[in-house]
Amino acid sequence: MLLGFTFFSATMWGGGNLGVAFPLWPDLAAIILCGSTILAVYVAGLGYVGYKSGLSTALSARFAFGELGSRWSDALLGFTQIGWYAWGTATITIILTRLLDLDTRLQAPLMVCFGLAFCLTAYIGYRGIAALSRVSVPAMLLLIVASVSVALQDAGNGAALLPSGTACALTLPEALTIVVGTFVSGGTQVANWTRFAGSARIAVGSTFLAFFLGNGLMIAVGAVGAAVYGLSDIVEVLAVQGLLSAGVLMLFLNIWTTQDNTIYNFSVAGCHLFRTERRRLVTFAGATTGTLLALLGMYDWLIPYMTLLGVFIPPLGGVIMADFFIRHRGRYPALGEVATPRFNLPGLAAYAAGSIAALVGPGIPPVNGIVVACLAYACLVRLT
Lowest mean pLDDT among 56-60, 147-151, 193-197, 311-315: 147-151
Lowest mean pLDDT among 214-218, 266-270, 298-302, 370-374: 298-302
> How confident is the model at residue 168, as a pLDDT?
55
Peptide bond before 26: cis, by omega within 30 degrees of 0?
yes
Amino acid identity of residue 37, one-letter, is T
> How confident is the model at residue 60, as a pLDDT?
95
> Do the Cβ atoms of 10 and 222 come closer than 8 Å?
no
Q: Is the pLDDT of residue 162 over 70?
A: no
> Do the Cβ atoms of 11 and 218 come closer than 8 Å?
yes
Tens of pLDDT along 215-233?
898 888 888 887 788 776 6
Q: What is the mean pLDDT of residues 58-80?
A: 91
- What CA–CA distances, in Å, run from 29 to 169, 342, 359? 17, 46, 25
Between 197 and 155, the more confident residue is 197
> How confident is the model at residue 41, as a pLDDT?
95
d(CA 332, CA 310) in angstroms, rounded, equals 28
Lowest mean pLDDT among 3-12, 31-40, 245-254, 359-368: 245-254
Amino acid identity of residue 100, one-letter, is L
> How confident is the model at residue 363, as a pLDDT?
83
Binned at pLDDT 50, 70 and 90, residue 290 comes out as very high
Amino acid identity of residue 221, one-letter, is V
Q: What is the mean pLDDT of the chain?
A: 85
Q: Is the pLDDT of residue 167 over 70?
A: no
> How confident is the model at residue 158, as a pLDDT?
54
What's the CATH number for 2-299?
A: 1.10.4160.10
Amino acid identity of residue 161, one-letter, is L
> How confident is the model at residue 125, as a pLDDT?
64
Q: Is the pLDDT of residue 107 over 70?
A: yes
Residue among 259, 303, 12, 307 at smallest CA distance from 111: 259
This prediction has a pTM of 0.86
Binned at pLDDT 50, 70 and 90, residue 126 comes out as low
Task: Give residue limits of the domains in the chain.
Answer: 2-299
Burial of 288 (0-12, 13-18, 19+ CB in 10 A): middle
Tens of pLDDT along 223-271?
888 778 877 666 677 778 887 776 677 778 778 878 888 888 899 999 9
24-31: long-range contacts (C-beta < 8 A, 24 or more apart)? 24/161, 24/163, 24/223, 24/224, 24/227, 25/161, 28/163, 28/223, 28/227, 31/172, 31/175, 31/176, 31/179
What stretches of 149-275 adopt beta strand conformation (E)? none
Q: What is the mean pLDDT of residues 178-200?
A: 89
d(CA 338, CA 324) in angstroms, rounded, equals 15
d(CA 102, CA 110) in angstroms, rounded, equals 11
d(CA 177, CA 21) in angstroms, rounded, equals 14
Q: What is the mean pLDDT of residues 294-305?
A: 78
d(CA 323, CA 175) in angstroms, rounded, equals 30
> How confident is the model at residue 375, as a pLDDT?
97
Q: Is the pLDDT of residue 88 over 60?
A: yes
Burial of 72 (0-12, 13-18, 19+ CB in 10 A): middle
Q: Is the pLDDT of residue 194 over 60?
A: yes
d(CA 24, CA 31) in angstroms, rounded, equals 10
Q: Is the pLDDT of residue 156 over 80?
A: no
